Amino acid sequence: MEKITVRAPATVANVVCGFDCLGFAIKEPFDEITISIIEEQTVKIKHLDNFNLPTEADQNVAGKAVLAMIEKIQSSDHKKPLSPPKNLEHIGFQIEIKKGIKPGSGIGSSAASAVGAVVAANELLGNHFRTNELLEFALAGEELASQGRHADNIAPCLLGGFTLVRSVDPLDIVKLEFPPLFVTVIHPQIEIKTSEARKILPQQIPLKTAVKAWSNLGAFVSALSKGDYELLARSMEDEIIEPVRKGLIPYFDELKKAGLKAGALGGGISGSGPSVFMLSKSQEIAQNVAQEMSGILDKNRIPFKAYVSEIDSEGTKVIPRRKA
């Protein structure tokens, strides 16, 4: 039986100054998704972890994303035949999910499962679909989890590096250049559902606040491409989302202060939290940042996980099969 396994990386969305549009991928942690074709017209989900996620395909982000792909193949406006030909009325997919990224962590857990599943299924179908189509299918999965249409996790998860979502309707993704950067992620072991963390956000913001936000985002993107670390540091500022969401994260202010004091360029809430991330110029600084931030949570007896990682520039990739 044909089987494909892919590795889908964790991602940091928003990156402080780009709510719902900016994100990057990190090397660790990651999900592993294996898909095989089965002779039954169904999508089956098997979990190889203990997170108790739904096994009904239409309730599971990976399942939902693959269902969107099947729906597209079967829709009357999809004229391109599968090569080699396959009749999806007689076959289906089995998806095995091994999550390395804890759900509700703020580092793109649902995006990794959704992207991983569509990349693996597409590989089984002879790379039938293009990048933007894969992103559309993954977005269907992501929407199930977050109850919102945002591609700032799925885009870097698929493509790697830093990405900017210029538009979700239609999808228009810009890959950004970036200088060497190291990431510290501190993940307090509590769960925040993105759907809940979106409900508390303001629906309107004063024009002055909006001007600050788009000025910072423009400057951040420019700083990335020029490798201007000082401008990068100055641009990681957010008066819209952080003040509202930081109350959901234990010792957020102290964590951020400790990270900056240890030499990080800047940072804040990763995605919708509870993870907090910091960007640094070197691996050594990122390790020190991890140590100082860990100290805050240790002192207050909050269980957490810490990751120090490079930016992952590959995105989701197929894992070559081991020879028997």
Measured CA angle at 222 (ends 220, 226), to 5 deg: 115
Decide: is 194 part of the binding site for ligand HSE (CB under 6 A): yes
Distance separating alpha carbons of residues 214 and 20, to the nearest angstrom: 13
Residue of 5, 194, 242, 292 marked active site: 194
Shortest distance in whole angstroms from residue 100 CB to ligand HSE: 17
Calculate the alpha carbon distances from 198 to 110, 143, 259 in Å.
15, 12, 26
* Nearer residue to ligand HSE within complex by CB, 60 or 194: 194
Restricted to residues 261-280, the positions that interact with ligand HSE (CB under 6 A) are 271-272
Using CB atoms within 10 Å of the CB of residue 279, give its burial: 0 to 12 exposed, 13 to 18 middle, 19+ buried. buried
Output the smallest distance, CB 272 to ligand HSE, in A: 4
Dist. CA 159–CA 151, nearest whole Å: 12
Angle between helices 252-261 and 283-299 (to 10 degrees): 150
What is the closest distance, in whole angstroms, from the C-beta atom of residue 72 to ligand HSE in the complex? Answer: 25
Nearest residue relative to ligand HSE (C-beta) = 271
Q: Which range, of 14-22, 81-89, 95-103, 177-185, touches ligand HSE by CB under 6 A?
A: 14-22
Check residue 259 for interaction with ligand HSE (CB under 6 A): no
Q: What is the 3-state secondary structure (H, E, C) of 253-289?
A: HHHHHHHHHCCCCEEEECCCCCCEEEEECCHHHHHHH
Look up 11 and say whether it is catalytic: no
Q: State yes or no: residue 193 binds ligand HSE (CB under 6 A).
A: no
Amino acid at 190: I
DSSP state of 175: E
Q: Pick one of 32, 96, 152, 238: the residue that binds ligand HSE (CB under 6 A).
A: 152
Of the candidate spans 126-134, 147-155, 211-219, 224-232, the one that interacts with ligand HSE by CB under 6 A turns out to be: 147-155
166, 21 contact by CB (below 8 A) = yes
Quick check: is 194 catalytic? Answer: yes
In the complex, minimum distance from the CB of residue 239 to ligand HSE, in angstroms, rounded to a whole number: 15
Give contact residues for ligand HSE (rule: CB under 6 A).
Answer: 13-14, 19-20, 146, 150, 152-153, 194, 197-198, 271-272
